[in-house]
């Protein structure tokens, strides 16, 4: 089974809310909420991939020193295995705006479990809630 490396981030605002993005129609798992991020290219460090993805997906900028490793997901789907480090970030430049057809929302600690997530993301919520 192929392993896919994806880098994701919990963007945390001053009110300790986390930004989630809803997967757009036409993509696998459309309608589910996820942490922003994306696939890591061969030879690319996860932090660099995340900085690139945030610029492309949300139009924001950050630097590696603002990305704190938080936890990771290791989950087997039917046709691939996902390995996904989750970073926390409290400092970035710009205002997150959907640039790839996704819907964005800020979610408080108490409401994270109410959002339908891809199976790989569900275990990340406990670690994130503890950290918030």
d(CA 36, CA 22): 9
pLDDT at 130: 87
Q: What values do phi and psi take at 100, rounded to 5?
A: -130, 35
The low-confidence residues of the chain, meaning pLDDT below 50, are none
pLDDT at 62: 98
pTM of the model: 0.94
pLDDT at 51: 98
d(CA 18, CA 132): 9
pLDDT at 52: 98
* CATH class for the region spanning 3-131: alpha beta
- Give residue 128's Cα distance to chain centre: 12
Cβ neighbors of 55 (< 8 A, separation 6 or more) are 61
Query: What letters, b where the CB count within 10 A reaches 16 and e where it falls short, cover 90-122?
Result: eebeeebeeeeebebeeeebeebeebebbebbe
């Amino acid at each position: 089974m192929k392993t896919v490396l994806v880098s994701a981030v919990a963007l945390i605002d001053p009110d300790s809310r986390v930004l989630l993005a809803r997967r757009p129609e036409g993509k696998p798992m459309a309608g589910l909420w996820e942490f922003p991020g994306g696939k890591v290219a061969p030879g690319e460090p996860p932090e660099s991939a995340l900085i690139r993805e945030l610029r492309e997906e949300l139009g924001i900028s950050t630097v590696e020193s603002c990305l704190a490793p938080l936890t990771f997901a290791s989950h087997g789907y039917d046709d691939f295995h996902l390995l996904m480090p989750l970073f926390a970030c409290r400092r970035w430049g710009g205002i997150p705006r959907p640039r790839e057809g996704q819907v964005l929302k800020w979610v408080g600690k108490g409401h994270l479990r109410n959002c339908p997530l891809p199976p790989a993301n569900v275990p990340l919520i406990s670690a994130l809630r503890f950290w918030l």
